[in-house]
């Protein structure tokens, strides 16, 4: 089993296409939608976690690309700028998935992108602009 967190961006014409359903039915993938923004006549974006065999995931991703869906790894979507961060830890109370935690001895912030579901709760909590979303 392989797990992948991805950001799917698709042109407006694809909003009618049930790509999620296809990923499940045709490629036997477990799809967990973490976040989505689909507005009529606008470019849509979905953050999802895919779970399945390496072979199925590869085939699923190829299918998405054939459809014209742009697939990016999620890592770059949320950024923690350590030069702006003052290690106040306000963000850690807002983070629902422990993507932002505190190193217990140094009391510094650790950002683990693989835990991040891009809920963006940390952005309002940060007074120093140290968290930025590209979503």
Partner 1 sequence: MRSLEEINDKIKSGKVVVVTAEEVVDMVKEQGVKKTARMVDVVTTGTFGPMCSSGIYFNIKQSTPKIKCGGGRVTVDGVAAYAGWAAADILLGCSAMTDEDPRNAVYPGLFKFGGAHVIQKLVSGEKVRVQVRTYGTDCYPRKEYDAELGLEDMNNAVLFDPRNAYQLYNVAVNLSERTIYTYMGVLKPRLGNANFATCGALSPLLNDPKLRTLGIGTRIFLGGGEGYVVWPGTQHVAEPERDEKGLPLTPSATLAVIGDLKGMKERYLRAASIAGYGSSLSVGLGIPLPVVDEEVIAYAAVTDQDITFPVVDYSEAYPLGRPGALGRVSMAQLMSGSVEVDGKKLPTGGLASRARGREVALLLKERIAQGTFLLTRPSAALPGAELAPGL
Residues near partner 1 (CB under 8 A) are 86-94, 102, 106-108, 121, 124-125, 127-129
CB 80 within 8 A of CB 111: yes
Please, what is the minimum distance in Å from the beta carbon of residue 89 to partner 1?
4
- Measured from the CB atom, the residue of 6 and 130 that comes closer to partner 1 is 130
| Residue placing its CB nearer to partner 1 in the complex, 3 or 107 | 107
Under 8 Å between Cβ of 110 and 66 = no
DSSP label at residue 16 = G
Residue 92's φ and ψ, nearest 5 degrees, are -65, -30
Pick 59 or 102: Cβ nearer partner 1: 102
- 107 and 89 in contact (C-beta within 8 Å)? yes
Nearer to partner 1 among residue 67 and residue 101 (C-beta): 101
What are the phi and psi torsion angles at 25 (to 5°)? -75, -50
> What is the smallest separation between the CB atom of 125 and partner 1, expressed in angstroms?
5
Closest approach of partner 1 to the CB of residue 47, in Å: 22
């Amino acid at each position: 089993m392989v797990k992948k967190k991805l950001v799917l961006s698709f042109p407006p014409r694809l909003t009618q296409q049930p790509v999620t359903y296809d990923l499940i039915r045709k490629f036997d993938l477990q799809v967990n939608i973490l976040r989505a923004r689909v507005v009529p006549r606008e470019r849509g974006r979905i953050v999802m976690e895919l779970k399945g065999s390496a072979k199925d995931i590869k085939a699923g991703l190829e299918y998405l690309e054939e459809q014209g869906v742009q697939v990016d790894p999620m890592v770059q979507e949320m950024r923690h700028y350590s030069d702006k961060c003052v290690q106040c830890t306000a963000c850690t109370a807002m983070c629902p998935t422990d993507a932002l935690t505190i190193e217990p001895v140094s009391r510094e912030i650790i950002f683990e992108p693989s835990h991040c579901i891009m809920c963006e709760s940390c952005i309002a909590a940060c007074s120093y602009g140290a968290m930025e979303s590209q979503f």
